[in-house]
Amino acid sequence: MRAAALAVVAALLTGAGACGAGGDGESVTVLASWTGGEATAFREVLDRFTARTGIRVDYQGTRALNQVLTTEVQKGTPPDIAVLPSPGDLASFVRRGAVRPLGDVIDAGAEQTHSPQWLRLEQIENARYAVAVKTSLKSLIWYDPRRVPDLSGDTPPTWDELIRLSDRLSTAGGAAWCMGMGSTPVSGWPGTDWIEDLVLHRAGTAVYQRWTAGQVAWTAPEIRRAWTAWGEVALRPGYVRGLLFTDFGDAGRAMHTDPPGCFLHHQASFVAGDGGDLDFVPFPSSGPRAWEVSADLAGLFTDKPQARELMRFLATDEAQSIWPAVSHGSVFSANRGVDPAIYGNAVSRRIAQTLTGTAALCFDASDLMPSAMTNAFYRAVLEYLQSPDRLDQILGRLDQVRTAVPAADWLDVPCGG
């Protein structure tokens, strides 16, 4: 298996051509995980930069991003810029000295329209190392107002109200909840989002932050209660359509059938681009409103003037407006200067306003955790769904992973509120 994986990485590196920072000196190399339609949308951002500056950009998209980037950094030929899907991934390269801080790169004008919360969330060890190319709002429960009139986007339900609603919906000819754990190459993360929201909205931001930083045991009551609360939904007979073998991207499709196969979908803001007339309510909270977020973060791996200029451009309102404009309201910016009209409908505008507003934003916990902890979390979700009676053993093994991770590998990132 290891030999095969290395062969795949080698092939990707060969196909990348000038992924390293060499080249003709005038172009900029960019590495990211986006392929297909996402790569096409991101190229529109890069093409605008080339049109503005005359600087050519060589883009390489690969699903083996971390493997390719690690190999290139070790060889001393990193791309000029890499876009990483989580702060934990970015931090691992910052700690190797591979990423350059942006204090003297991003001008004050760009920072004025960049959300103050995101300026803090883009920091690692008290210095800004990233530009959020696109952001995503989590802590959302999607529904069709025509089919679930009990809910209103203006009035978040309590957890007990949500369970009572689920009881009624599960007897209405379909399942109450759409749910899918499948994801290539790593399944299970949709379940971690549930558990993270339950920790955040029941135990509060302080406990959530300490948990993401490795300072709260997985066997602690607040964490165990989050798992069992999720089990009230995921494991109750008749409540869920899909689950273990359903791909996360397909899970919500049954909301649009007639009659619907499921009515409620806990998923991030990309669902806004799925079509239909869906709305959302915030995840039930017992305290001050907070939101889970994720982001794709661009980091500067060389000091080429052309690369610095591209990083400056990525932070501008112009660059931040391009992808949301072509995504039909499913991709969102951290910049307050982006015209809300770009988002096209009221639901997408509410998401954009939340992402740039004052309510506390907290990075997805598994995106902050060291990779060994994150991967163990994903596996634990799948095991819990198959063997819920083994929860204590599952949490015990997660805590063994936590205590084995060196303290220096954890990130302590406060919520941005």
Flag whether pLDDT at 50 surpasses 90. yes
Which residue in 20, 81, 24 sits closest to 311, CA to CA? 81
Band (24; pLDDT cuts 50, 70, 90):
very low
pLDDT (0 to 100) of residue 79: 98
pLDDT (0 to 100) of residue 110: 63
Flag whether pLDDT at 14 surpasses 80. no
Side-chain half-sphere CA neighbours of 328 within 13 A: 8
Out of 46-55, 117-126, 140-149, 383-392, which region has the weakest mean confidence (pLDDT)? 117-126
pLDDT (0 to 100) of residue 390: 98
Out of 43-52, 69-78, 240-249, 343-352, which region has the weakest mean confidence (pLDDT)? 240-249
Band (243; pLDDT cuts 50, 70, 90):
confident
d(CA 173, CA 167): 12
pLDDT tens string 74-84: 999 999 999 99
Band (194; pLDDT cuts 50, 70, 90):
very high
pLDDT tens string 87-137: 999 999 999 999 999 999 987 666 678 888 898 899 998 899 999 999 999
pLDDT (0 to 100) of residue 251: 86
**Residues whose CB falls within 8 Å of the CB of residue 280, separated by 6 or more in sequence, listed in order:** 140, 141, 142, 143, 153, 271, 347
Band (25; pLDDT cuts 50, 70, 90):
low
This prediction has a pTM of: 0.90
pLDDT (0 to 100) of residue 10: 39
Mean pLDDT of 47-56: 97
d(CA 14, CA 298): 23
pLDDT (0 to 100) of residue 108: 67
pLDDT (0 to 100) of residue 182: 86
In 204-327, which residue ranges form alpha helices assigned H by DSSP? 205-212, 221-234, 305-314, 317-326
pLDDT tens string 252-283: 888 989 889 999 999 999 888 666 689 999 99
Helix (H) or strand (E) holding 235: none
d(CA 341, CA 346): 9
Mean pLDDT of 24-28: 75
Flag whether pLDDT at 298 surpasses 50. yes
d(CA 43, CA 412): 33
Flag whether pLDDT at 23 surpasses 80. no
Which residue in 384, 386, 385, 359 sits closest to 115, CA to CA? 359
Answer with the residue of higher pLDDT: 359 or 276: 359
pLDDT (0 to 100) of residue 329: 77
pLDDT (0 to 100) of residue 3: 38
Band (21; pLDDT cuts 50, 70, 90):
very low
Mean pLDDT of 331-350: 92
Out of 107-121, 204-218, 297-311, 316-330, which region has the weakest mean confidence (pLDDT)? 107-121
> Residue 279's Cα: distance from chain center in Å?
20
Mean pLDDT of 186-199: 94
- What type of residue sits at position 157? P
pLDDT tens string 378-415: 999 999 999 999 999 999 999 999 999 999 999 998 88
Percent of the chain topping pLDDT 70? 91
